[in-house]
Amino acid sequence: MLRTHCPVAFALVAMATWLNAQDSSSDVDAFVRSQTYDKYLVILCAEREFNTSKQEAERVSGLAGVPFSMNGNVWDSKRGLILPDDCQDPSYCGEYLPRRYNELDLTASPVGYISIEKSDAYPGLTKGNYIALAAISNSNEEAEKELLKLKPFAPKAYIAKTEIYMGCIH
């Protein structure tokens, strides 16, 4: 008896799952939007080549006295900028995890830093570049102050507006 109803039951379960997924998808989208904020990036340079961007980041870091950090990322010639395969969080090992905060360490005395990031991770930026990111600010005015500090060392530096998801990523 069960076998004759299996196709119908399967179809009903599949439809219910699909409808539930549609509702869940809308809920997830709404939640993500509620945790996504306008941010202003202070970008020293945007280059197609990782090493070119890294050299500029390290140069400005030395001149401006702003720490440089890869923030755990490594360069892999086949996969680009990624967290190492043996990183501390298995969820993200071998993947690129974009910078979301201005401070290197949120628990200690917060210090801004310069990092290398993929432009693809930030809506509104030209795709396919590695950016030397000097600051993430909550307002254009705050970004302008950071830019003024760095302009003497990086005359081509600029501000770009983007959106960053700031909610939990686990």
| pTM attached to this predicted model | 0.81
State whether 9 and 90 are in the same domain. Answer: no
Place of tokens 């680009």: 80
Would you say residue 102 lies in a domain? yes
The total number of structural domains that make up the chain? 2
- For residue 146, tell me if it sits in a domain: yes
128: exposed, middle or buried (C-beta count within 10 Å: 0-12, 13-18, 19+)?
Answer: exposed
| Choice between 21 and 91, residue whose per-residue pLDDT is larger | 91
How many alpha carbons lie under 13 Å from residue 132 in its C-beta half-sphere? 26
20-52 pLDDT tens trace: 555 566 888 888 888 898 999 999 999 999 999
Q: 99 lies in which domain range?
A: 36-165
CA-CA distance, 77 to 83, in Å (whole number)?
13
Same domain, 45 and 81: yes
